[in-house]
Structure 1
Amino acid sequence: MAFADMLATLPDVSHLAALRLIDASGAVVATLENKPGQAGSVRVYHALAQRHGGAITPAAAAEGLGLYAEHTADARAHPGKHPNIDRLLTLAAPLQVVLVPA
């Protein structure tokens, strides 16, 4: 299934302005804003957090690579082009997800 088709199966995120990824020390490692260019990633990360207890775990990261569909192969071929996919490819420790309401 293509990424665009996959997105249509994920929960709506119109109630979110952004989501923050927090490491074990409490530092914000990334903020994904619900705006063009990042909205799809907000939807993917939100769905993963819902399925994995509010965190992006190694299991969530593996699932997320499947959700990104054709973009995962492009991210592997072009490191740095898709930072939100790169994060999943290299995830070593869980990241807490904090939702920022719209």
Structure 2
Amino acid sequence: MAFADNLKQLPAISHLAALELIDAAGNVAATIENKPGKAGSLAVYAALAAKHGGINVAAAEEGLVIFAEHTDDARANPGKHPNIDRLLDVIASGQGFTCKLIAA
């Protein structure tokens, strides 16, 4: 399925302003905001966090499937899709993130 089709299967994120990714040291490693160009990534990360309890290797692998055609583009163009690059890094390193949801 294409990313747009996969997004339709994910829970709504209208109640979220953002999601913070917290590293093992307790620092905010990244924030994904609910705004144009980022809302899709927020939906993916929020769904993965709800299912897996955070972003671990299993969540990252599932995320790459959800991102569909964008995953191939991210692999071919490192830096173009930072939220996908982050999932690839989680798989490579085994170091995941806990997630904090920020209400809208």
Under a length normalisation based on structure 1, what TM-score does the superposition of the two structures give?
0.97
Aligned residue for 2:87? 88
Structure with the larger helix share: 2
Query: Shift of residue 40 of structure 1?
Result: 0.1
Counterpart of 1:75 in structure 2 is 74
Aligned partner of 2:31 in structure 1 is 31
Aligned twin of 1:17: 17
TM-score (norm 2): 0.96
- Identify unmatched segments of 5+ residues in structure 1: none
SS, match of residue 83 in structure 2: helix
1:56 aligns to what? 55
3-state secondary structure, aligned to 2:35? coil
Gap runs ≥5 in structure 2: none
Query: Given the alignment of the two structures, is residue 98 of structure 1 paired with residue 100 of structure 2, yes or no?
Result: yes
Shift of 1:94: 1.8
Whole-angstrom distance in 1 between the partners of 2:34 and 2:99: 14
| CA RMSD of superposed structures (Å) | 0.5
Q: How many residues are paired up?
A: 101
Task: State the AA in 1 paired with 2:74.
Answer: A
CA distance in 2, matches of 1:44, 1:83: 13
Secondary structure, counterpart of 2:87 in structure 1: helix
